[in-house]
C-alpha cells in the first residue's frame, strides 16, 4: 500500500510540473527568460519578433515587448508620427518609444477573421488590407472600423502603399487608388488576372511588381502604362532613389535606367533564395533574406551579411526605415523545410 501511495504522489507532482512548464512556455516573460517553446509553436520572446538597428545595421536589438507571444506578423508601416505593425491574430500595434514597447490598437474581429497582412498609415488613419475581406480603416485609433471594398474587383489585398497624394492598393485584380471624395476604390491599371505585389514611385512614375512582370506608368513622359520587365513573376519592388530593385522568386534584379535594362545583383546573397525586401537607410542599401540581413553601399559591390544581435538564420520578412533607424521582423520558422542558404532541395 505504501508503495502505491508513493507512485500516486509522484504521478501528481509530475503532472503539476509538466503543466507549469507548459504555462511558462505559453505566457513567457517581459525580460525574455521564459522556457523555450517546442517546435511548431510561436517564436520565443527571447529570440524576438521585431528588431531595431540605430547604427545603420551594425547591431540589432529585440523590440518585441507588448506583442502577443503567438504572433504571425504582417506588414510594417510608418508615418511622420508613428511606427506600426499588424499581427494576424490580434490586429494592429503602435510602438511607444517612451515605454519602449508595442501598444495594442483595438482591432475589429472582422479584420482578424479575414487574415490581415497589408498595412498603411495615411492621412491620420490606419488602413489594413486583408486576404479575403478587402480594406478596413480607422480614423479614431481603433475605436471603430470601416470596411471599404467599394470598387474592388478582388478582396485579396497584397500591398497598401501611400504615395502622396494617393493611397494605392495592390490586389489580385490590378492596382487601385483610394478615391476619398467618391468613398471608393478606382482601378488604375490591370485586370482580374494581374496580381500586384509591390508599388513604388521612381522619378515621377509609378512602378508595380506583378505576377506578369514590372509595369510603369510613365504618363509624365506622355505615355501610358507599359511593361518594362517581362518573363518574370515579381513578388516585391523597391527603390533607393537611384536604382529600382525587382524581387523575383530566385534572384534579385536591378535597373538604373527606369526599367529599360535589368541585371542580376545576387552576388553575396544566398544562391537561389529570393529576397523579401530591399530598403535604403542613410548611404547604405539593405536586403532582407531567408537567413538574415545583407547590406552594401556601392551598386557594383557584393552584398555582405550584417546581423550582430539578430537570431541565427532567421528569415527577415519585413523591413522599414523609420527616423534613420532600420526596423525588421523575422519569421519564426527561418528557412523552410528543404531550403538551405546555398541551394534548394526538392
- String of DSSP letters for 37-95: PPTTSPPPTTT-SEEEESSTTS--EE--TTS-SS--EEEEEE-SS-EEEEETTTEEEEE
Residues 6+ apart with CB under 8 A from 51: 60, 61, 62, 63, 309, 310, 327, 328, 329, 330
Cell matching residue 187 = 482601378
At 273 the pLDDT is 86
At 4 the pLDDT is 42
The answer, as to whether pTM is greater than 0.75, is: yes
Q: Mean pLDDT of residues grouped by 10 in the chain (346 residues)?
A: 40 38 32 27 53 96 89 92 95 97 97 97 97 97 97 98 96 97 95 97 95 89 85 96 94 95 96 92 95 93 94 91 95 50 38
Beta strands in 123-204 (DSSP E): 125-130, 135-138, 146-148, 157-163, 166-171, 174-179, 184-189, 196-202
CA distances from 318 to 4, 29, 118, 192, 214 (A): 57, 25, 11, 27, 21
Find, among 165, 152, 144, the residue nearest to 118 by Cα.
152
| Cα 326 versus chain centre, distance | 13
Helix, strand, coil shares of the chain as percentages rounded to 5? 10, 40, 50
Q: What are phi and psi of 85, to 5 degrees?
A: -145, 150
ω before 165 within 30° of 0 (cis)?
A: yes
Q: What are phi and psi of 61, to 5 degrees?
A: -125, 135
| Cα 49 versus chain centre, distance | 12
Grid look-up 517564436 returns: 43
Sorted by where each starts, the structural domains of the chain and their CATH numbers stand as 72-194 (2.130.10.10)
d(CA 346, CA 338): 6
Grid look-up 508613428 returns: 82
Hey, CA dihedral for 218, 192, 112, 237, is it positive or negative?
Answer: negative
d(CA 307, CA 34): 23
Find, among 120, 90, 119, 125, the residue nearest to 105 by Cα.
90
At 8 the pLDDT is 39
Amino acid at each position: 500500500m505504501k508503495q502505491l501511495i508513493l507512485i500516486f504522489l509522484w504521478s501528481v507532482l509530475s503532472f503539476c510540473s509538466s503543466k507549469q512548464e507548459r504555462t511558462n512556455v505559453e505566457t513567457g516573460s517581459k525580460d525574455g527568460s521564459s522556457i523555450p517553446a517546442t517546435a511548431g509553436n510561436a517564436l520565443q520572446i527571447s529570440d524576438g519578433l521585431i528588431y531595431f538597428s540605430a547604427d545603420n545595421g551594425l547591431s540589432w536589438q529585440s523590440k518585441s515587448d507588448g506583442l502577443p507571444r503567438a504572433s504571425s506578423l504582417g506588414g510594417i508601416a510608418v508615418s511622420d508620427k508613428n511606427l506600426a505593425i499588424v499581427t494576424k491574430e490580434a490586429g494592429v500595434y503602435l510602438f511607444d518609444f517612451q515605454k519602449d514597447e508595442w501598444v495594442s490598437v483595438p482591432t475589429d474581429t472582422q479584420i482578424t477573421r479575414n487574415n490581415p497582412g497589408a498595412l498603411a498609415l495615411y492621412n491620420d488613419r490606419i488602413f489594413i488590407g486583408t486576404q479575403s475581406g478587402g480594406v478596413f480603416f480607422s480614423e479614431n485609433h481603433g475605436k471603430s472600423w470601416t470596411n471599404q471594398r467599394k470598387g474592388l474587383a478582388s478582396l485579396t489585398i497584397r500591398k497598401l502603399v501611400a504615395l502622396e497624394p494617393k493611397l494605392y492598393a495592390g490586389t489580385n485584380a490590378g492596382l487601385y487608388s483610394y478615391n476619398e471624395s467618391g468613398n471608393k476604390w478606382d482601378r488604375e491599371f490591370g485586370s482580374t488576372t494581374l496580381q500586384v505585389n509591390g508599388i513604388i514611385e521612381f522619378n515621377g512614375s509609378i512602378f508595380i511588381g506583378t505576377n506578369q512582370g514590372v509595369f510603369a506608368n510613365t504618363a509624365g513622359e506622355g505615355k501610358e502604362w507599359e511593361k518594362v520587365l517581362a518573363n518574370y513573376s515579381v513578388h516585391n519592388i523597391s527603390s533607393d532613389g537611384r536604382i529600382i530593385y525587382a524581387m523575383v522568386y530566385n534572384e534579385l534584379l536591378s535597373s538604373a535606367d527606369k526599367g529599360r535594362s535589368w541585371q542580376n545583383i545576387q552576388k553575396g546573397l544566398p544562391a537561389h533564395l529570393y529576397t523579401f525586401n530591399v530598403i535604403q537607410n542613410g548611404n547604405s542599401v539593405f536586403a532582407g533574406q531567408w537567413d538574415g540581413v545583407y547590406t552594401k553601399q556601392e551598386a557594383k559591390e557584393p552584398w555582405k551579411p550584417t546581423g550582430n544581435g539578430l537570431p541565427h538564420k532567421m528569415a527577415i520578412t519585413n523591413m522599414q526605415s523609420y527616423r534613420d533607424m532600420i526596423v525588421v521582423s523575422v519569421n519564426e520558422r527561418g528557412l523552410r523545410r528543404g531550403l538551405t542558404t546555398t541551394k534548394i532541395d526538392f
